[in-house]
Structure 1
């Protein structure tokens, strides 16, 4: 295939009769198609990496070669790629968690050679039946193997994904001479070298990473209220639509809710929250379309809307909090300004950013203790499923899944999966603690680079390029530092700050009643696995998040000093009156007892009851010492820890009751005491807490 023929395909795919290849695009196609090379392409976002592998696919298919396999990490990325493939007449299909009902039909179409490009989520590579029963069948006739976002292979990268580690083993079963293409925009020298060492004998094409359309600015903010006020003041003044990045789901919801109170049309976008509407694939696709079609001003998103989302005219990216690394930041700002002359990328930095990333770093890798516990239990029991492990060891389901995934991709692995159970191999396994320590040090260093970037006085784009080991570095002339002054105001309006502070103090939220426990976890109480409706509470209203701006920090401070101030009594009373159905307001008040702090919550509950003109009745007693509930890592152990710990007086009022505690985490304390109150003859139980210590 010559350059001119490939150029015609480019123009067809872009629907532009005068388009030309960008630097290195034809060279990449030539290496893959004509020379059958292994190639790693490191080019800036928006350069056109997908054009390379789809044009290559079209050429190879026209030559009679087999289908292209594309490993793609995100559904948003897959959807964009399928649309791009269609413009070249490429028959593309995808196998991922959103279309499970179509898998068999798609596999058969591939086997019948009716699919030109198959996009696979990396998680599919963890399924032995998929690999041995499908991939191995077509391995001999695959025309091109593509690893999109190839930096995910390297655990030195900012976004290492365990399932990507399986790719190197998959490639071992592929025939010699099959071209392999890896693409990424976010790989420094260390990550590139790691990818090359894993894939072996790989040629590398690297281009300049500067983004000429982007104007960068950093702003340090005192607290959440100032940042919220800044967003309200400045987002409406930004051209077009954009993305506001947060580090947590709860902040995505909070920022979205606040901006909408000012008529700024935004939506929260995230993944990973089970049972949440915004976590559904269909709903996220709707949100992506709304942003693409400018039907929202912005999506307020976690990193879920990162790699691969392609909106050529995205006008701005604002970070409500700083990301954990410069490479992650470059990847996210790369969503903006792909096909427009000017786009703005503003980073807001606040005091809690440090705490957020300290938590993320601490939960990045499994510990020696976690690995030993899991391997020991699997070995002693002749294999175990994840639910069985959760009832045997005091680790959260997330910790168990993370550890299982980490050790299952080791080569050789100490475990293997058979249906739903994991079994032990004969491999003597020892966690590479030194490697994890090196990676933890690296993550800490990357965060220090972010902090240095925030205070950097030189060209901000140059700083990003230096961290990414870009070879072509020229001042951008567009960032706030190059311009010698702020692009957007570096302070927020005082009145808006006061308004935001008031909003944060009214950011109450509802926690639904738990309806199901683990089998046998509450034997002493005789509460069945499915909690009967007549024993359930009406759910819990929570005043704040622990340590947050608004009431969260005040609650934390007061708990440490052993007395909750009168302001909290007023705030809690207001929440009760506003949030609980006025037709079913509580007729009396009680509270969760504590042996460690016997006066703290009862004192608060009595004062709150008085403010509500209700009687306070201390009818719940703790009769058994328990371990701290926060040390119990999953539902089974949380329930077992509380089984038989409380008792309720036999004679209590039959009216509806307000059950108080200072904090809620798992919600099991409220669930169990509510069941005991209902058994004793109370009316509906309304639970309320001053704060939530749950991490989400």
Structure 2
């Protein structure tokens, strides 16, 4: 059989073998869809590159598992051809990898994964690959530029790959809703593949622009795009007035939602709070966020798969990484910023059940959250150039060492470096990052177009929540589905299954839960690295005589309960005003709770001092005065500051320390009063963002003689 001319009879024989593998994988009655066969035929017989844009549940994984089995069996090999190497699947999340390994085993396919959680197995797995014992290797896109993997494993792997699979391929495109720069490294992998190595890219969420971008990056690709209709999903939107009503609605209706499902939130704090509230109402749920330990995430995934819990309350950390065909519902507390992202998440439900409920509960705070995440986009050119200027070709600098140079938070700095690496301007090495010297252009026009596309997506998501026409048709049109039509099932096409009523009992419970005030402020123990290079001679541990104690705040800016109220007071553009009575009562509640119970202070404060504020001096002064009067404590005064900034959040810890180091002074009258204190000073501010204002202001008080410092803020960021 030659690939230049394969007879219809030979292709039919390959299809019969493919159907047999599918039955092993999916059951004795499974039959290939026509586009599944077209993809397998293109990969196995014609050794082409294929892009599958098909809805969740269509069976994209069946394509690459069947193709793997046929290639490994040599079904289309020519005489003298060496055995096909393993299939390499680039997959975005560990959860998805675990699902895929289990699915492969059902078809008799031996799958292994290389990731950050199994470093001690890398050598063993590499040896198994060399010995032909691995059929499928799953890796994350981040692994492609790990220095050890890139230099020692990747060249040999690319040369021996029998099939390359790019899962969730929309991540390749910066036009997509979930662009990941590490995916762009696949260009290097593609370039290293032997001739006629087939490549399959798959996604369920790509509009025409993203599809064209991915296809162009693949090269000469066969694009198989199917309908995005999901006839099991019943979409609905409920407009509820505030977070308490949304939590109360969940408590009233969760039992009415069939089976088990996912409740998505926009922030980690919201996921944590929602899970805690639902557990308090007797529901077995678990939270799933990027801050949950991997072992706990695994346990939560398995509990949902086994229907031991009613729901996972998750951020987008779950996202693409979960496969449960009988998922009965998806509820969103807050709208994602893109209808394409929304379709991708709701598509997890209803794959193997007749009906699945999809409910969106948008919130007034959604736009502010979208705005925050949009602010983490690619930095301005001057910040990028400052990093390139700081790097040398032969002396690597770590991300931490770059922080005193550029005013970017670490996650955003690392994202920028990854993009520069993909563009060839920098290179990641064992010691950090080096500059390559290659010319690099800041693509202002493209970045602006991408930003405009994001803004359009956000507005479209608002329109989705407000539309009176078919919701499924609306989403399918957003993904440029030419077959989009009214579904006849959503709350606009048929009688809605749910109303917006919340029982008085559930609403009261939610209000009480969200009305509880108090979060911890953890003090810093270590100075940021690299400060000496910027002229500040502190490093290592913060000395015991300069440290502050653990503190408290009323709430987080991202809290479901207090978040909106706090943002209205402490946001950079919020008017400066005295502390309102409702928040004054919350301050008193937090101080009372701090005085006894778990994590209580060891010694009651002996006096109050406020932090100088350029943005909200009236607010900060009123907080301190209220506390002093209620606690019958002396108000010693306000620390002065030479810092002339806006007191706004800084990009990273190093920049914050550089801006505030030795900026605070203790007025003589305050210093005199400190001499007579036998207890801690309560240090008051409106907002604790990075935490370094409290550390450095408290350090000034400690050096002036304060026996201890207890920080208190109205709000903490995050």
What's the counterpart of residue 383 of structure 2?
370
TM-superposed deviation, 1:177: 0.6
| Alignment partner of 2:222 out of 174, 198, 203 | 203
Question: Is 595-604 or 361-370 further displaced after alignment?
Answer: 595-604
CA 1:23 to 1:463, structure 2 compared with 1: closer, same or farther past 3 Å?
Answer: farther
CA 1:557 to 1:147, structure 2 compared with 1: closer, same or farther past 3 Å?
Answer: closer
What's the counterpart of residue 8 of structure 1?
20
CA 1:139 to 1:562, structure 2 compared with 1: closer, same or farther past 3 Å?
Answer: closer
Question: Is 45-54 or 590-599 further displaced after alignment?
Answer: 590-599
| Alignment partner of 1:26 out of 4, 20, 37 | 37
Aligned CA-pair RMSD: 2.4
CA 1:66 to 1:482, structure 2 compared with 1: closer, same or farther past 3 Å?
Answer: same
What's the counterpart of residue 690 of structure 1?
714
TM-superposed deviation, 1:135: 2.2
Q: Distance in 1 between the 2:482 and 2:580 partners?
A: 58
| Alignment partner of 1:65 out of 84, 87, 92 | 84
What's the counterpart of residue 427 of structure 1?
438
What's the counterpart of residue 414 of structure 1?
425
**Does the CA-based 8 Å contact 1:40-1:183 persist in structure 2?**
yes
Runs of 4+ in 1 over 6 A off after TM superposition: 522-527
Matched, 1:655 2:682: no
Q: Summarize the alignment of residues 529-540 of structure 1 with structure 2, pairs less than 5 Å apart.
A: 529-533=540-544, 535-540=546-551
| Alignment partner of 2:525 out of 512, 515, 530 | 515
Deviation per residue, 1:193-218 (Å, 9 max, x gap):
11111111100112221111111001
Q: Distance in 2 between the 1:189 and 1:600 partners?
A: 51
CA 1:564 to 1:362, structure 2 compared with 1: closer, same or farther past 3 Å?
Answer: same
**Does the CA-based 8 Å contact 1:13-1:88 persist in structure 2?**
yes
TM-superposed deviation, 1:439: 0.8
**Does the CA-based 8 Å contact 1:626-1:641 persist in structure 2?**
no
Q: Distance in 1 between the 2:284 and 2:131 partners?
A: 47
**Does the CA-based 8 Å contact 2:88-2:138 persist in structure 1?**
yes
**Does the CA-based 8 Å contact 1:382-1:424 persist in structure 2?**
no
**Does the CA-based 8 Å contact 2:613-2:620 persist in structure 1?**
no
| Alignment partner of 1:664 out of 688, 691, 699 | 688
What's the counterpart of residue 660 of structure 2?
642
What's the counterpart of residue 469 of structure 1?
480
TM value normalised by structure 1:
0.93
In the comparison of the two structures, how many residue pairs are matched?
683
| Alignment partner of 1:568 out of 583, 600, 606 | 583
Question: Is 123-132 or 429-438 further displaced after alignment?
Answer: 123-132
Q: Distance in 2 between the 1:666 and 1:651 partners?
A: 30
Q: Distance in 2 between the 1:347 and 1:415 partners?
A: 42
Q: Summarize the alignment of residues 540-579 of structure 1 with structure 2, pairs less than 5 Å apart.
A: 540-546=551-557, 550-557=561-568, 560-579=575-594
**Does the CA-based 8 Å contact 2:576-2:617 persist in structure 1?**
no
Deviation per residue, 1:387-407 (Å, 9 max, x gap):
221122332222321211111
What's the counterpart of residue 390 of structure 1?
403
**Does the CA-based 8 Å contact 1:652-1:680 persist in structure 2?**
no
5+ residue gaps in structure 1?
none
**Does the CA-based 8 Å contact 1:590-1:620 persist in structure 2?**
no
**Does the CA-based 8 Å contact 1:588-1:609 persist in structure 2?**
no
Matched, 1:486 2:501: no
CA 1:371 to 1:122, structure 2 compared with 1: closer, same or farther past 3 Å?
Answer: same
5+ residue gaps in structure 2?
1-12, 75-82
What's the counterpart of residue 231 of structure 2?
212
What's the counterpart of residue 315 of structure 2?
302
SS of equivalent to 1:73: coil
Deviation per residue, 1:136-172 (Å, 9 max, x gap):
2233332111111111111111111111111122101
Q: Distance in 2 between the 1:85 and 1:635 partners?
A: 45
Question: Is 501-510 or 285-294 further displaced after alignment?
Answer: 501-510
What's the counterpart of residue 79 of structure 2?
none
What's the counterpart of residue 56 of structure 1?
67
SS of equivalent to 2:612: coil
SS of equivalent to 2:633: coil
Q: Distance in 2 between the 1:205 and 1:598 partners?
A: 61
SS of equivalent to 1:454: helix
Q: Summarize the alignment of residues 112-127 of structure 1 with structure 2, pairs less than 5 Å apart.
A: 112-127=131-146
TM-superposed deviation, 1:458: 2.0
Matched, 1:496 2:520: no
